[in-house]
Every structure is written in structure tokens, then in C-alpha cells.
Structure 1
Amino acid sequence: MSTTQSERLRALLEPVAGKAGLELEDVKVSAAGKRRQLVVVVDAEDGVELDAVAEVSRAISEALDDSDAMGETEYVLEVTSPGTDRPLTEPRHFRRNTGRLVKLHLKERGELIARIMTVDAAGLDLEVPGVKGRKPKPGRADFAEIERARVEVEFNRKADGEDEEAAADDETAEEA
């Protein structure tokens, strides 16, 4: 039974990431001149802090030094967290992005941009933005119909509760 280098690396590094309280999302090995580059992507339910990345990076480096998983060729190790442009492929990815705007490519319906409201075992409950000032409407997408999905970056998104605070300020001003 033959296993690829990525599978061997995943088997070696998954427990290291788990011990640090992180999930191993991806392992990529690529050529970088005469050396190779090993990119290890880790994540956690509430995101990954820089200190956690540094800590797991040291642990991964130790594990690699103690094994022959990378062979004799020099390599550069990069440990990182997923970026905003990473594809959402697992239910946990969608769960971690509840409240965020996503672009979904659906098998039957084509492209849909909507906000994730809740995630269950079968799919997503969505809020589809209204067109031309209309109110948003509810929607649903099952995991089985999602071909691709990514988070849409929002530069001017209001913080949770900001609308309620503005309304309360307006009422207080009217009473004065």
C-alpha cells in the first residue's frame, strides 16, 4: 500500500496540531528553487491567534526534525491559518463563518451571494440580500447542492447590534 508524502505528513502532523488545540486543515509541499516549501494550514473553532501559530510551528518543526518525513532535501516550513480566500468545503468551515457573507456556486441555481444565518447537518439557512432597497429574504442551501463557496470580504459591514444602538440613540435624542 503506497502513501503519498502529503498523507504521511498529515498523519505525522495531525496529532501535533490536535495537541495544540488546533485542526490541521491542509498540508502542501511544493518546489521552491533548490529547496521545497512545506505549507501547513491550521485552524480552530474561534480562529487562530498568532501565539498559537508560533507555538504549533515550533512543535511541527520538532516533529519533522525527529522524523524522515521530508527526506534529506532542504525545505522551508510555513505554518499559517486559512485566509479569507480559502474555499469553504467542510460543514465546520461554514459554521465558523456564521454571520458572514458568502458566494455560493450551486448546482441547479447558479451563483448566490447570501449571509449564513445558521448551519445544521444538512446545510445552511441563509439571508439573501434584497435588491434595490428591498428587505432581505430567507433562503436555504443544502451541502449536497454546493459546488464551491468562499467568504465575501465586506469592508463596510456594520458590527452586530450597531443598528439597534443607532435606533436607541435616535429615540433618546427625540425625548430630550
Structure 2
Amino acid sequence: MAWQDIVAQTVTGLGFDLVDLERSAGGLLRVTIDWPWQPPVPGEATVEDRFVTVEDCERVTRQLQYLLEVENVDYRRLEVGSPGIDRPLRHEADLQRFEGEVIDVTLKAPIGATGGAVAANRKKFRGTLERAADGVQWQIVWSDEPERKPGQRVSKKRAAAPLQALTFALADVQQARLAPIVNFKGRQAKGAPAADASE
């Protein structure tokens, strides 16, 4: 059995999802785990996301160390962790789970966007992940409006930059990740308006 299969079976056997698996030239084996996610069922209360703890990582580490030694897998160091704020999105379930979030997408090849002047060779985009109108594909929506600096006043007469959209299928994606956006004002409920700094 390949070492990748050993890791995948061990992680899922302990009740976690294998998010990422990386082996570096220096002998580092990096395993990223998360709790499984189930799509919400209409009419039922939504279940809060569980977060991977240090104890969860230690449990997976102990089990992997034992099995990798039994299988004689050569590595120098094993690192087990949670996905973090720039979690990779690789599967359809990942896109469903993080619909409405801001993500970074790198395409395998440029496919063009609607609603504005996008360079024909552009492959990297940051925007809000949404389900496309066809209900099958996905789209990323963004505005090229420059980010306001704290305290900066904006004229009410100034027209907002138009929204742009890029429709894509998972097969078009080279890499997709949650955008690492940090809010130092604390957690907010999804869809809650941000507090105004002037209040």
C-alpha cells in the first residue's frame, strides 16, 4: 500500500477529512486535517462548524507515527495541523461549504470574465464564491474598486466600479483557496454588517 493511502485511511478512520498531504524534499511530511462537513438539510437547524484542536492533531500524529513505522515509510518529521485561514478548496463539497466566502482562484488557462475589461491572459482572481446561474458551475464575483483606507471619505457622487463575474467549473481550476482575510474586530455572524469604526 502506498504511503499516501496509509495516511488517507488513517485520517478518515479517525473521523477526519484529509484536506492536504505534502511531502517535501527535506523529509517533512505535512498532513492537514479537518472535521467532515455535511451540507445543511432544509428545515433543520444548522450545525456549527467544529474546529480541529491540538489534541486532535496529537491523536492523528500518534496513530500516523505508529503506522508509518510499521510500513517502513522514510520521513524525517511529521507535521499534522488544521487548514488555517487560507484553506485549499479541492472538491465540490469544499466549494459548497464555503459558498459566499471570498476566495483566491488560479485557473489552468484563461477563460475570460463578464462585466468588465479583464486582461485576456489573466488567470488569478479574488472574489466572492457563488453558484452560477446554471446551478452546476461556480462563479467568482468581484469589483476592481480600490480598497478604502481607514478614515478615507468617499464622494457620494462617485460611481461604484461595476461588478465582474467569472464562471468556471472545478476542472478549470489549478488552485483555489480561502482568501486569508483577517478581521481584528472579532467574529461576526455570517451576513452581519461590519461595525463602523466611527461609532
Which has the bigger relative contact order, CA under 8 A and spacing at least 6?
A: 2
TM-based fold match above 0.5: yes
1:61 alignment partner, one of 60, 65, 81: 65
Distance 1:79 1:160, change over 3 A: same
Q: CA deviation at 1:103?
A: 2.4
Q: CA deviation at 1:61?
A: 1.5
Amino acid at match of 1:142: A
Give the equivalent residue in structure 2 for 1:172: none
Q: Does 1:160 align with 2:187?
A: no
2:7 alignment partner, one of 3, 13, 20: 13
Which structure's residues are more often helix, by fraction?
Answer: 1
What are the ranges of 5 or more consecutive residues in structure 2 without an aligned counterpart?
38-48, 113-121, 146-158
Normalization by structure 1: what TM-score?
A: 0.65
Amino acid at match of 2:96: R
Q: CA deviation at 1:18?
A: 0.8
2:137 alignment partner, one of 84, 100, 123: 123
Give the equivalent residue in structure 2 for 1:174: none
Give the equivalent residue in structure 2 for 1:95: 96
Q: CA deviation at 1:66?
A: 2.6
Equivalenced residue count is: 154
TM alignment of 1:76-87, pairs within 5 A: 76-85=77-86, 87=88
Q: Does 1:30 align with 2:33?
A: no
User: 1:20, 1:52 within 8 Å by CA — same for their partners in 2?
Assistant: no
- Residue by residue, what CA displacement relative to the aligned partner does 1:120-155 show, whole Å, maximum 9, x if unpaired? 984314443474635757663222333433322223
Counterparts of 1:145 and 1:15 in 2: how far apart (Å)? 28
Which structure's residues are more often strand, by fraction?
Answer: 1
Amino acid at match of 1:112: F
- Residue by residue, what CA displacement relative to the aligned partner does 1:59-105 show, whole Å, maximum 9, x if unpaired? 112212332122xxx72211122344454333233233222211223
User: 2:141, 2:163 within 8 Å by CA — same for their partners in 1?
Assistant: yes
What are the ranges of 5 or more consecutive residues in structure 1 without an aligned counterpart?
1-6, 167-176
User: 2:34, 2:52 within 8 Å by CA — same for their partners in 1?
Assistant: no
User: 1:102, 1:113 within 8 Å by CA — same for their partners in 2?
Assistant: yes
Superposed CA RMSD in Å reads 3.5
Distance 1:31 1:137, change over 3 A: closer
Distance 1:135 1:28, change over 3 A: closer
Normalization by structure 2: what TM-score?
A: 0.59
